Chains A and B, each alone.
Chain A
């Protein structure tokens, strides 16, 4: 065996065994570490650079402020991740978010029931629950269109993007609900708690974001549903033949994405103390960007919550940092675009048929480990 080892020149690797072999090589492969942890390193780089450029950037209060910004599209991103993992896409989340805010605002104004000649003021918890139900409903429409009627996800959710936005505009006549404070007389105060209050010094919105992210992480890693999501996205036909209820999984991911969007809408309108029908316009793209920067593959089956969180923070910390150091908003747009393109570029390098990628990895001397070592 040993003389054969010696005669084997260090060379590039083919498909087989490259993965396990590079795992065996231990932690010496800097290129791979940088590639796989790119979102993390990008985040650190952003924090360091902006801290040097601006004295106010590196402070707890600023981080908390930025985090509450991140929470909004982070929530969208987490829902989007579920959809993208199944190989779909949800373009409607921005509109759903706007619609959710409007629905909440509408209910906070009081629902007048003409038949009974009275106006109903639902308590805040009911407003929150009903809004989430509305988000779930939009998601369900998406899910049913995609899974049962086989409408391509891009088209189906593009349709609901317009419809949801249109409904939001119709409900308000294009105006904005400015009074979300409620009235102590009607017992529906407290809506601003979501956006303004803090628990243990952390904004409630950020805590909600964290809770949703943890729940999602848990669902993906530890429940059958999570495994089904990955399997459906990796190979729907094989998953189906293995007994995975692929259609049900597809409906569910869109429903969950809709709920996430509704929660984001609630937090945003609470932060702004107003609910406008145009809130969240183009947020679906930011959400997708977060997922992609986090390393998920748009073809489905690859990605995780941790990456998506990092992706959301990269976007949030970068755009807020640019604001803080006073870069013009035009340049901000250019920067964001460049970051997204770079992220997709790195994704395609990572998920390329493992041929060229680990070529350099193999050049480092790999001690011939026993094959069971991993």
Chain B
């Protein structure tokens, strides 16, 4: 903390930046019980500019955004809009003042058309009921404006995620929002969709709309932002304009020290081949004659960390789910330490030491109705069962060990899963799988939506495991991660391996092999 005092002397943004201040938070604090989520934060949003909020999970970014958009009210401090102190009773109230928020999870009805979604809740009335023609015209106009000519009558579920995001933006614009808050808008987008989004953001800026942007993808955020604000532990630790900063600056202020994700663990010898895929094919669920994984062979040795890099839809998830037993292959074999496991159930594979940390932790990783401890012990119930009964004491040992080993910040095993931050929830999923004492761990995009500190801890866990002989397959769409954790990098594209590299590969080589042009 002390090393940061030097930046604390500039808590408020200087007034000389281009574009006047539209909305600002003055000494805003907010506490939940005895937890102080925000401590006297000052924050300015300028007309027609992008302000990016950086910070780890639990740093208070979401809390601040919820306050600005009227979801919750501050415990103390004030919000100033156009020079006047205001308070928002609700999101509707905030929207009336021109402030809209686009949440990470989109709030569209997938079964309805683009038009109906945009006018949901404020349908244009006419003499004969809803004036659909006028709504469609207006939708079309908005879409053209956003340079994404989607037919107003398309169902939202038929749109790609990136297009859905645009629809959400269109909805915000249709209520004349002047300030648009975007929470992790790119986390599920492909590179080309991100490009479209950034073009839309640039266009919005030119029309005087102010944007508040939150992202864990630091490099990406740097390409579009005008101002950077860094939060840590609920306090603002740094503010700067884009021209003054770089990636290293952000990371340093986010985590409070010079930070490096590290490099692949070395110094241990690798063992025998632990897991190997032999000519594995997996059919597409939607189009059975198409293969999402196409006669792929790959092996990983004990103590080795293999990264599978690829874009979305390259078949990484399907490959890993096939290994774990969630989907069955329509060709090929999977060998675990010399045994063909292709026909075993998920439970049998876990018993033999093969586990998967799934991509979507909310959907596939956590049981939200259960406490932290019960989630942690779920995959290793057998370890604390004697005869018919589970042993409370042994279970508690498993739970306590997991919490300690993977460094979960929690009130204890009895705390609700919802009380943890995203990074800690991910650690619960990883801890649950490590508690089964596996010999092969598959991780599918484990760093999605978690902050850099948590990411570093995940890497540390993997490195530690590898040095003890754990075989790791790590799937990711971030090149930087490959470089800092993998002994070997496999690039996957359209269901096949398109290239394989050692740890000494460069960023550009990997990206070229994935069929992706170098970005940002």
Which residues of A approach B to under 8 Å, CB–CB? 4-5, 7-9, 11-22, 24, 222-224, 227-228, 230-231, 233-235, 237-245, 297, 300-302, 354, 362, 366, 368-369, 371-372, 374
Nearest-Cβ distance from residue A4 to partner chain B, whole angstroms: 6
- Closest chain-B Cβ to A373's Cβ sits at a distance in Å of 8
Give A228 to B370 CA distance when docked, in angstroms. Answer: 11
Within 8 Å CB of B76, what residues of A? 7-9
Do B33 and A234 touch across chains, with their CB atoms under 8 A apart?
A: no
Cross-chain contact A243 with B351 (CB below 8 angstroms): yes
Interface pair B32/A18, CB less than 8 Å apart: yes
Which residues of B in the span 373-397 have a Cβ within 8 Å of any Cβ on A? 374, 378-379, 381-382, 385, 388-390
Query: Which residue among B76, B363, B368, B390 has the maximum number of chain A CB atoms within 10 Å of its CB?
Result: B390
CA–CA, A366 to B33, complex, Å? 7
Could you say which residues of chain A place their CB within 8 Å of the CB of B369? 230, 233-235, 297, 300-302
Number of residues on chain B facing chain A (CB within 8 A): 54
In the complex, what distance in Å separates the CA atom of A230 from the CA atom of B420? 20
CA of A13 to CA of B75 in the docked complex: distance in angstroms? 11
Contact A223 B379 (CB under 8 A): no
Contacts of B389 in A (CB 8 A): 222-223
Quick one: which of B340-374 are within 8 Å of A by CB?
Answer: 345-347, 349-351, 356, 358, 363-370, 374
In angstroms, Cα B507 to Cα A307, docked, is 58
Is B493 in contact with chain A by the CB < 8 A criterion? no
10 shortest A-B CB distances, which residue pairs?
A: A21-B33, A301-B369, A234-B369, A234-B367, A8-B31, A243-B347, A242-B379, A243-B350, A9-B75, A368-B34
Decide if B96 is an interface residue (CB 8 Å cutoff).
no
Q: Which of B34, B66, B366 contacts A369 (CB 8 A)?
A: B34
The distance from the CB of B60 to the nearest CB of chain A, in whole angstroms, is 11
Let me know if B289 is at the binding interface, CB within 8 A.
no
Q: Report the separation of the CA atoms of residues A239 and B381 in the bound assembly, to the nearest whole angstrom.
A: 12
B418 within 8 Å of A (CB atoms): yes
28 sampled A-B residue pairs with Cβ under 8 A: A8-B29, A8-B76, A11-B31, A13-B32, A15-B418, A16-B419, A17-B32, A17-B419, A18-B33, A18-B419, A222-B390, A223-B388, A223-B389, A223-B390, A227-B374, A227-B381, A227-B390, A231-B374, A235-B363, A235-B367, A235-B368, A241-B358, A242-B350, A243-B347, A244-B378, A245-B347, A374-B411, A374-B415
Interface residues of chain B, those whose CB is within 8 Å of chain A, are 29-37, 39, 63, 66, 72-73, 75-76, 324, 326, 345-347, 349-351, 356, 358, 363-370, 374, 378-379, 381-382, 385, 388-390, 411-412, 414-416, 418-421, 432, 436
Given the complex, which residues of B lie within 8 Å of A235, measured CB to CB?
Answer: 363-364, 366-369
Question: Cβ of A239 and Cβ of B411 under 8 Å apart?
Answer: no
B39 touching A4, Cβ below 8 Å: yes
Q: Which residues of A lie under 8 Å from residue B350 when comparing CB positions?
A: 242-243
Could you say which residues of chain A place their CB within 8 Å of the CB of B39? 4
Contacts of B32 in A (CB 8 A): 11, 13-14, 16-18, 21
A301 and B415 form a contact (CB under 8 A)? no
- Are A237's CB and B390's CB within 8 A? no
Q: Is the CB of A17 within 8 A of B33?
A: yes
Q: Are A8 and B356 in contact (CB under 8 A)?
A: no
Q: Is the CB of A224 within 8 A of B365?
A: no
A240–B36 Cα distance when bound, in Å, is: 37
Whether B412 contacts A11 by the Cβ 8 Å rule is no
Contact of A243 among B35, B379, B415 (CB under 8 A): B379
Whether A4 lies near B390 (C-beta < 8 A) is: no
CB <8 Å contact, B367 and A11: no
* A209 smallest CB distance to B (angstroms): 22
What CA separation (Å) do A368 and B29 show in the bound complex?
17
Known contacts A20-B411, A230-B370; is A241 also within 8 Å of B324 by CB? Answer: yes
A231 to B347, CA, bound (A): 14
Across-interface contacts of A228 in B (CB, < 8 A): 381
List chain B residues, Cβ under 8 A from A12. 72-73
- Please determine whether B390 and A17 come into contact, CB atoms closer than 8 angstroms: no
A224 and B385 within 8 A (CB): yes
Q: Which residues of B contact A238 (CB under 8 A)?
A: 358, 363-367, 378
Q: Assuming A224-B385, A224-B390, is B75 touching A8 (CB within 8 A)?
A: yes
Contact A13 B33 (CB under 8 A): yes
Which of B33, B36, B347, B414 is A244 in contact with, Cβ under 8 Å? B347
CB of A262, distance to nearest CB on chain B (Å): 23
Partner of A240, one of B31, B75, B346, B419: B346
Contacts of B73 in A (CB 8 A): 11-12
Give A68 to B26 CA distance when docked, in angstroms: 66
What distance in Å separates the Cβ of B11 from its nearest Cβ neighbour in chain A? 16
For the complex with contacts A11-B75, A235-B363, 20 further pairs of A-B residues with Cβ separation under 8 Å are: A4-B39, A8-B31, A12-B73, A14-B37, A15-B418, A16-B420, A17-B411, A17-B419, A18-B33, A18-B419, A21-B34, A223-B389, A224-B385, A227-B381, A230-B369, A233-B369, A297-B369, A301-B367, A354-B418, A374-B412
> Which residues of B are found within 8 Å of A231, using beta-carbon distances?
367, 370, 374, 378
In the complex, chain A residues whose CB is within 8 Å of the CB of B36: 4, 8
How far does the alpha carbon of A159 sit from the alpha carbon of B208 in the complex, in Å?
A: 61
* Docked CA distance A151–B299 (Å): 39
In the complex, what distance in Å separates the CA atom of A11 from the CA atom of B363? 31
Residues from chain A with a CB closer than 8 A to the CB of B370 are 230-231, 234, 301
Q: Point out which of A7, A239, A300, A368 has the most chain B C-beta atoms below 10 A from its C-beta.
A: A7
A18 to B416 CA separation, bound complex (whole angstroms):
9
Per the bound structure, the CA–CA distance linking A15 and B382 in Å amounts to 32
Among the interface residues B32, B412, B418, which one has the most CB atoms of the partner chain A within 10 A?
A: B32
CB of A241 within 8 A of CB of B364, answer yes
Chain A nearest CB from B35 CB (Å) reads 5
B421 partner residues in chain A, CB cutoff 8 A: 16
B328 to chain A, nearest CB (A): 14
Docked pose: A21 CA to B35 CA in angstroms: 9
Indicate if the CB atoms of A245 and B345 lie closer than 8 Å. Answer: yes
CB distance from A80 to the nearest CB of B (A): 18
State how many angstroms separate the Cβ of B451 from the closest Cβ of chain A. Answer: 15
Docked complex Cα distance between A300 and B31 (Å): 32
Chain B residues, Cβ within 8 Å of A13: 32-33
Which residues of chain B come closer than 8 Å to A18, judged between CB atoms? 32-33, 419
